[in-house]
Amino acid sequence: MFTNTEESSLMTLVYNEIIETISRAEARWPHSSQAELEGDIRLLAEDVANEHPEFTKMTAQDQNAFLEKLLSELTGYGPLTDYLADESISEIMVNGCDKIFIERQGVILAVSERFMNNNQLYRVIKKILSPLGRRVDELNPMVDARLPDGSRINVAIPPIAVDGPYVTIRKFAKQTFTLEQLVEANSMPSSVAELLAQAVKAKDTILISGGTGSGKTTLLNVLARLIPDGERIVTIEDAAELRLECSHVVRLEARPASPDGRGEITIRQLVRNALRMRPDRIIIGEVRGSETLDLIQALNTGHQGSMSTVHAENPLQALYRLETMALLAGHEIPLSIIRNQISGAVRYVVQLERLSTGERVVARVTEICGTTRGEYVLKDHYQLKAAA
């Protein structure tokens, strides 16, 4: 029986030898299927491992377990494989090859699994990004992409990543929620659920505000599903995460520039295009730039009932952020006019918070009642009581 350290050392040694062998033979090693590839790699792994006395001294059971783990490292996603398959995990964070964190039920936890070295981590990054047509290198050391299942991946490598490659994967939740389920989970009281449902049906524009991981996209999904069937909805996102069950949905997704700087399609371009698609409602996954001005103007010219999210600490700050982003459009529009347009466009701001326990809750629902002397007039319909 080996200690974990001894087994890890042997694993690293065998892994490196196999990678070197595969790299030399890759051009002469075609495979028609993933199963065929895995079968050949297992045979190769057995041959290489049997050259080491440490492996041959293992019991047959330990040898099989060793080879299964090695096969996972070689053909899967290494130590991330099980976490990617675990639906209870919402986020995976890799801080270099020797530190992995996960988020489960809103709580961040450090895990014991590690990559054997940076080379293995780079291979996993390449394996994830290659099918997406994306790459990361020293000239392009950052990448943000959507996985086939809707999950988001962000990668940063040296020179901008100081301690080695960083990988952040926000997993796409397969479970869908309803307002009733959020009430049962104590995310909001029933009175708030009723108010929001009525607002959606009345075509009141709703802005969902909160910090990272506070549940903005989840609530946006829930509210968007309340839109009456038959209305034409156009969704606009950086990476498609919304899953609407309405029958008439048009989904638009932004596109980053290619490595040579061409082909970028921005959220602002998509907003302008959406206005030509005869939408009844426009749903933007998150407003974060100059597209805000186009959205505000659209909301003031017959596209009420739209929804979006924004990063902000409270409803007033959310409105201020809209102002700042609208000014990024570069037009010399007085702030007072922008403020009047925002107050006429947005009816409710729903503020979300993630508590220290990991729970995500509605902390405040605020109605925008216009402006007086250049300042917003706000009316709180609900505010979460602070814990005693």
d(CA 235, CA 251): 5
Report which of 169, 149, 145, 150 is spatially closest to residue 89, judged by C-alpha positions: 169
Residues 256 and 288 in one domain: yes
- Say if pTM beats, i.e. exceeds, 0.85: no
Residues 188 and 163 in one domain: no
Per-residue pLDDT band at 35 (split at 50, 70, 90): low
Q: Which of 122, 149, 172 is the last residue of a domain?
A: 172
What secondary structure does DSSP assign to 129-191, as a single string? Answer: HGGGT----SSS-EEEEE-TTS-EEEEE-TTT-TTS-EEEEEPPP-----HHHHHHTTSS-HH
- Counting the structural domains of the chain, the total is 3
Average pLDDT of 162-184? 89
Contacts of residue 34, Cβ cutoff 8 Å, sequence gap at least 6: 75
Q: Which of 172, 198, 230 is the last residue of a domain?
A: 172
Residues 54 and 85 in one domain: no
Only one residue has tokens 């009345």, namely 202
d(CA 53, CA 228): 68
pLDDT exceeds 70 at position 62: yes
Q: By the 8 A CB rule, do 234 and 321 touch?
A: no
336 assigned to some structural domain = yes
CB atoms closer than 10 angstroms to residue 330: 8
Q: By the 8 A CB rule, do 220 and 285 touch?
A: yes
Per-residue pLDDT band at 26 (split at 50, 70, 90): low
Per-residue pLDDT band at 387 (split at 50, 70, 90): low
d(CA 326, CA 303): 18
pLDDT tens digit string along 259-309?
A: 777 888 999 999 999 999 999 999 999 998 889 998 898 888 878 899 999
267 assigned to some structural domain = yes
pLDDT tens digit string along 354-383?
A: 998 888 999 999 999 999 998 999 999 999
Residues 272 and 342 in one domain: yes
d(CA 288, CA 212): 13
Q: Write the burial class of residue 326 (CB in 10 Å: 0-12 exposed, 13-18 middle, 19+ buried).
A: buried
Element (H, E) at 135: none
DSSP state at residue 306: -
CATH number at residue 101: 3.30.450.370
Residues 370 and 256 in one domain: yes
d(CA 335, CA 74): 57
Segment among 29-38, 91-100, 138-147, 171-180 with least mean pLDDT:
29-38
Q: Write the burial class of residue 32 (CB in 10 Å: 0-12 exposed, 13-18 middle, 19+ buried).
A: exposed
Token code pair at residue 292: 């805000």
Residues 206 and 142 in one domain: no
Report which of 266, 346, 285, 282 is spatially closest to residue 338, judged by C-alpha positions: 346
Contacts of residue 340, Cβ cutoff 8 Å, sequence gap at least 6: 371
Q: Which of 20, 52, 74 is the last residue of a domain?
A: 74
pLDDT exceeds 60 at position 27: no
Residues 253 and 200 in one domain: yes
CATH number at residue 320: 3.40.50.300
Residues 230 and 370 in one domain: yes
Average pLDDT of 180-202? 96
d(CA 138, CA 125): 14
pLDDT exceeds 80 at position 314: yes
Residues 294 and 183 in one domain: yes
More confident residue, 45 or 155: 155
User: What is the pLDDT at residue 299?
Assistant: 87
Token code pair at residue 73: 């490292």
Q: Write the burial class of residue 70 (CB in 10 Å: 0-12 exposed, 13-18 middle, 19+ buried).
A: buried
39 assigned to some structural domain = yes
More confident residue, 308 or 27: 308
Residues 149 and 89 in one domain: yes
Q: By the 8 A CB rule, do 310 and 346 touch?
A: no
* Percentage with pLDDT > 70 across the chain: 91
Per-residue pLDDT band at 231 (split at 50, 70, 90): very high
d(CA 131, CA 348): 41
pLDDT exceeds 80 at position 2: no
Q: Which CB contacts under 8 angstroms, 24+ apart, belong to 247-250?
A: 250/274, 250/277, 250/279
pLDDT exceeds 50 at position 79: yes
Report which of 338, 249, 344, 348 is spatially closest to residue 302, judged by C-alpha positions: 344
Only one residue has tokens 């959507």, namely 146
Alpha helices, H only, 50-154 = 53-56, 60-75, 81-85, 118-129
pLDDT exceeds 90 at position 36: no
Domain carrying residue 126: 76-172
Residues 222 and 361 in one domain: yes
Q: Select, from the ranges 8-12, 239-243, 266-270, the one with the highest average predicted confidence (pLDDT).
A: 266-270
User: What is the pLDDT at residue 176?
Assistant: 78
Residues 199 and 327 in one domain: yes
388 assigned to some structural domain = no
- The chain-wide mean pLDDT, for the chain, equals 86
Token code pair at residue 3: 């200690």
pLDDT tens digit string along 83-114?
A: 998 989 999 999 999 999 999 988 899 999 88
